[in-house]
Amino acid sequence: MFFGSTRRISSAALLCLIRHVQEHISDGCKTLHHSSGRQRSGRLRKRLTDTRWPDEIPNTGWDYGSNLDYIKELVEYWRTDFDWRTQEAKLNEFRHFKSEVDGLDIHFIHEKGKGTAPIPLVITHGWPSCFFEMTKIIPLLADPASHGGDAADSFDVVAPSLPGFGFSDHARDRGMEVQRVAGMWNKLMTQNLGYLKFGAQGGDIGSGVTARLAFAHAENMYGIHLTSITRPTPYLGPGSRPITEEEQALITQRAKWFDEEGGYNHIQGTKPQTLAYGLNDSPAGLASWIVEKYRTWSDCGGDAEKRYTKDELLTIVTIYWVTQTISSSTRMYFENQKNLWVMDKDQKVPAPAGMAMFPQEISKPPREWGERSYDVRRWTEMTKGGHFAALEEPQLLAEEVRAFFREFR
């Protein structure tokens, strides 16, 4: 059964939360499988079968965007071989909950740590990801002893779906950007789950949420761990130290990247609703929009399936499809761009911070850039991996997260 609204949930009352996701996923999956859903399943397959494919200049690969041959192959696999029920069973190995925060039902996985004194840790995904990205790393953090680690490094892991992503409610008004989400996560962890103090980890949009948490609610936090530090923009005005060559190289690289790869960012940040009509209506278009980012932003040498299986990619796409969240998720780009975060002079994020910089991450800042805005306690240049680190290199990321938080135990 589903949860009712829960205004305030203490840790003692956590067991009273009604497990909802099996039915929520099943409900979403009625579009794929169940009785009344068989008709919808047929409609999805018919949509995939009847895709009106665009033309493509021969022998251009991925130069113009998603490659036609690969997307046809992926869509055919989705239509004929992809087994949602198998993926659903894997998702339901985790403990899923919903809790009301600021009037919205927020979905999250909550796995208690198997150790003597687990640190509560909220881990936040980005776009075009969802909570599924965290499913490989959650067991490594909650139960390190079963995965080659030390039980003393365990965490109580909370992995929410951002508002408007996956099984969380959509925002009902303007302004759902990272600062607002950070306030919601603070309430989720302290008021609803009853933790007195917690840590946070994130990448992409999740890094912005995590940084905002540490900026506004440092008194409740042990520290934060990030895999990207594009937010905030540090103070670079009068009285700041001169920009180093490495920092200037970062600024140049970011500008070049936005020129060459930032088209998605611009349209999602300016006209997300216009984009949504096509992506919410075409499963093939949705898959093309999402999967191209997994290929481009990962350490895969141009072959996404060196890092992710078709089933993993299509699980992500299917969650977007059945929940119809491509519109609400891309809208967060619009809100974030209306609420840019630039530091004032002598301003820093006060909570201790650890950084793991993966070589194929979108942005590759030097440590001195991070130190302009953060109290950097740990900085690690990773040897492999890209933007979706929790899914791509869960073991490496888990080891870094454990190492950073060890000093706070």
Q: Which of 349, 351, 350, 355 is nearest to 404 (CA)?
A: 355
pLDDT of residue 42: 75
Residues in the chain: 409
What token pair was written down for 32?
């794929």
Q: Give the integer Cα–Cα distance in Å for 241 and 259.
A: 28
Give the three-class secondary structure for 121: strand
Asked if 365 contacts 250 with a C-beta cutoff of 8 angstroms, the reply is yes
pLDDT of residue 38: 52
How many Å apart are CA 266 and CA 333, to the nearest integer? 9
Cis before 232 (ω within 30): yes
CA–CA separation, 389 vs 264, rounded Å? 21
> What domains can you pick out in the chain, each with its CATH number?
1-53+70-409 (3.40.50.1820)
pLDDT < 50: residue spans in the chain = 1-37
pLDDT of amino acid 1: 26
pLDDT tens sequence across 181-208:
999 999 999 999 999 999 999 999 999 9
Q: Which residue has the tokens 């397959």?
A: 45
Task: Give all strands of the β-sheet with 104-111 in edge-to-edge order.
Answer: 96-101, 104-111, 155-160, 119-124, 198-202, 221-226, 349-357, 374-381
Catalytic site residues? Answer: 204, 333, 387
Rg (CA), the chain: 21
CA pair distance 161, 389, nearest whole angstrom = 17
Supply the pLDDT for residue 256: 96
pLDDT at residue number 20: 36
